[in-house]
Structure 1
Amino acid sequence: MENKELHVLGHLEELRGRILKTFLAFVAFFTVSFGFVKEIYKWVVRDFDGKLAILGPSDILWVYMVIAAVISIAATIPVAAYQTWRFVSPALKPEERKVTLRFIPGLFLLFILGLSFGYFVLFPMVLKFLISLSAGQFETMFTAEKYFRFMINLILPFGFLFEMPLVVMFLTRLGILNPKRLAKARKISYLALVIISVVITPPDFISDFLVTIPLLVLYELSISLSRVVYRKKLMNENMPLPEM
């Protein structure tokens, strides 16, 4: 019993070390990105017609910190994924370690792709719709804090949602998920993705549709990739392939 407790404490200590390394990486990336935040700010608002207002001296600092934080999150994802891989790798077979290690660059690329989809496709569409509601009735003026809060709340979730296929592949490789389980959860997953789409988009059918379809496609892609990984996993273990 005592050996078991020491084993658990050892794992918790290692987990704490992995989390600490990830946090320190985030702080380092935040420090570097904050040094370039003015140039990044100018690029982000380059298509905005006019200037954003601030209501106090702390507003622009908040905006700069949010921009630096988003960049730092993106840069920290490979570090966090690698630390996670190092933590679970002792329980993996040598072949599984090599395969799962290859997922790490993909996580970063998919996160950037998700942010790009949110920023270049979804955000302009939603902003245009909301501005059209005030046309001829209100004088439109945006504060920097409100503008960036709205932007980040809209695009950041897509960075994480676009990682769904690789996360599913990773969990399938570990044996935590399988394509049958994902297929059975399709209805509940669809409902959850539709709710997410409705919550983060304006109350019109077109916006909901344009956001929902990519998320559903991502889920179906996740199931297909899970099948591929699952079959390879069974073949490597010399187990019979199930019907799917």
Structure 2
Amino acid sequence: MSETQETFLSHLIELRSRLVRCLIAVAIAAIPTLYFSAELYDILAQPVIHALPSGSKMIATGVITPFLIPMKIGMMAALLVVLPYVLYEVWAFVAPGLYAHEKRLMLPLVVSSTILFFAGMAFCYFFVFGAVFDFILKFSPKSISVAPDIEAYFNFVLGMFLAFGIAFEIPVVVVVLVATGIVTTDQLREFRGYVIVGIFVVAAVVTPPDVVSQLALAIPMCLLYEIGIIFAQLVEKRRKEEAPGGAP
């Protein structure tokens, strides 16, 4: 077996080991989250319940939906609990291929990635959901009774959480691009106009077809892009001050 094949197989074995450790961590975290899955769904449903007319409730149209959806909520909560560990495993897997100055960024990037992802979810839950639901319900005809299905609501919430969580990772992406030398901060400023257009296109695609949710995603993404450039400047300045090169 050639050296290239051995290296490839060793990477596959390492990847499998890290995936198994991540799955074990999720399974352990799922024990308490599944136990309180019904309560977690009640918390998740508060924004839409608050926006619905007094006395209105959500409905379940499927036979096993009242059981299945809370279980999905429990698993999602378990994944969020171990998210820092999962991100650490991802960075640890790619770390051997990085230079010394890039490896020093691993811990700050793991911490900041976790914080920003949770910040995106919190922003969506506490600020966006209420505004979106109020906006949508204002246009509903008075002749109908609004009763959202719990499965449809779960899919909507999951999609919005992922959209805002990933969107809030923009500063990390910008810093990584500069730290690895793919782009410079000057180029990021030159691309600003194209990036803003792309952000609004992405916001229009991943959010519901209402102006409130689209602006609620696009505006923070633009601000986070600028914040990412500021932090990338510090990384770029530090790279220039250090000696060139560095062993992986």
**Higher mean C-alpha displacement, 106-115 vs 135-144:** 135-144
Contact 1:78 1:105 (8 Å CA) reproduced = yes
Q: Deviations over 1:137-184 (max 9, x none)?
A: 322122211222222222321112112212332343344454345345
Contact 1:37 1:67 (8 Å CA) reproduced = yes
- 1:148 maps to what in 2? 154
Give 3-state SS (helix, strand or coil) of 1:56's partner: coil
Give 3-state SS (helix, strand or coil) of 2:104's partner: helix
Q: 1:4/1:211 Cα in 2 relative to 1: closer, same or farther (>3 Å)?
A: closer
Partner AA of 2:105 in structure 1:
V
- 2:121 maps to what in 1? 115
Q: Deviations over 1:125-147 (max 9, x none)?
A: 11111111114232212221122
- 1:37 maps to what in 2? 37
**RMSD, aligned α-carbons:** 2.6
Partner AA of 1:165 in structure 2:
P
Which of these residues, 213, 217, 220, is aligned with residue 219 of structure 2?
A: 213
Which of these residues, 97, 101, 110, is aligned with residue 91 of structure 1?
A: 97
Q: 1:29/1:174 Cα in 2 relative to 1: closer, same or farther (>3 Å)?
A: farther
TM-score, L = length of structure 1: 0.84
Q: 1:174/1:22 Cα in 2 relative to 1: closer, same or farther (>3 Å)?
A: farther
- 1:28 maps to what in 2? 28
| Counterpart Cα distance in 2 of 1:123 and 1:99 | 34
Contact 2:26 2:79 (8 Å CA) reproduced = yes
- 1:242 maps to what in 2? none
Partner AA of 1:216 in structure 2:
C
Partner AA of 1:12 in structure 2:
L
| Counterpart Cα distance in 2 of 1:201 and 1:14 | 37
Contact 1:123 1:154 (8 Å CA) reproduced = no
Q: 1:207/1:86 Cα in 2 relative to 1: closer, same or farther (>3 Å)?
A: closer
Contact 2:164 2:217 (8 Å CA) reproduced = no
Q: 1:209/1:56 Cα in 2 relative to 1: closer, same or farther (>3 Å)?
A: closer
Which of these residues, 52, 57, 69, is aligned with residue 58 of structure 2?
A: 52
| Counterpart Cα distance in 2 of 1:204 and 1:223 | 29
Shift of residue 32, structure 1, vs aligned partner: 3.1
- Number of residue-to-residue matches in the alignment: 239
Q: 1:45/1:205 Cα in 2 relative to 1: closer, same or farther (>3 Å)?
A: closer
Q: Deviations over 1:97-135 (max 9, x none)?
A: 333222222222111110011111111111111111114
| Counterpart Cα distance in 2 of 1:201 and 1:8 | 39
- 2:2 maps to what in 1? 2
List alignment gaps of at least 5 residues for structure 1. Answer: 240-244
